[in-house]
Amino acid sequence: MPEHSFNNQQKARMDSPARRKLLPQDKILPLLTIEEKNTILDIGAGAGYFTFPLAKQTRETVYALDIDQQMLDYIAKKISEEDIKNISLVQEKLESMPFNDQEIHRVLACMVLHEVKPLEDALKEIYRVLTPGGRFVVVDWIPEPNDRRANRIDSGTMQRAAEHVGFDFDALTIPSNEVYAIAFTKPSQQ
């Protein structure tokens, strides 16, 4: 995953009305089918836009994984201010996550997988840490027609890549005009 550093203005945009319109939590988080006993991994947690609502849906740990220490410091400040006990900060790349095999029940990767090359290696790592029967939701940009930007992976390509590493497709939704969300499960029997 490339190194990104966010300035204060960019951090403020990470929980703005425009971001809430782009990434509506009420349309994305239900795809994870969270239970209160689920351990959750928020990959590319950023300013904690999804981390904090996830922490309210489980009694177990929500891991906020990001490579940018500034973003994790921002989350740490909010954790302290709100006295939240079940968020754990992890500074690491997606490709080398410090979790045991089959340790995580739910994984959310929002606006991050287009940054990882090769995509299949990242998906294999997510598959490795996810429990059998666990759910994985990816949210990413919808490419525009003739869009040649490197940071665009269409939903069909994403689905095929996830299925290739062993995930079962569950659902595809379009939570806003610019992004798609795909839910996958890891088979219970491997």
pTM of the predicted model as reported, rounded to 2 decimal places: 0.90
- Do the domain assignments include residue 29? yes
Q: What range defines the domain where residue 46 resides?
A: 8-185
Give the pLDDT score at 159.
97
Q: What is the pLDDT of residues 45-95, one digit of tens each?
A: 999 999 999 999 999 999 999 999 999 999 999 999 999 999 999 999 998
* Number of residues that this document lists for the chain: 190
Give the pLDDT score at 15.
60
- Do the domain assignments include residue 138? yes
Q: Which residue has the tokens 């992890």?
A: 90
CATH number at residue 117: 3.40.50.150
Q: How many helices (H) and strands (E) does the chain have?
A: 7, 7
Task: Assess whether pLDDT exceeds 60 at residue 11.
Answer: no
- Please give the Cα distance from 155 to 3 (Å, whole number): 24
Taking CA 68 as the corner, what is the angle to CA 175 and CA 161, rounded to the nearest 5 degrees?
Answer: 45
| Domain count for the chain | 1
- Do the domain assignments include residue 2? no
Report yes or no: 42 and 64 within 8 Å, Cβ to Cβ: yes
Instruction: Give the distance from CA 14 to its chain's centroid.
Output: 14
- Do the domain assignments include residue 3? no
Q: What is the pLDDT of residues 148-163, one digit of tens each?
A: 766 788 999 999 999 9
Banded pLDDT at 115 (limits 50, 70, 90)? confident
Give residue 183's identity as a one-letter amino acid code: A
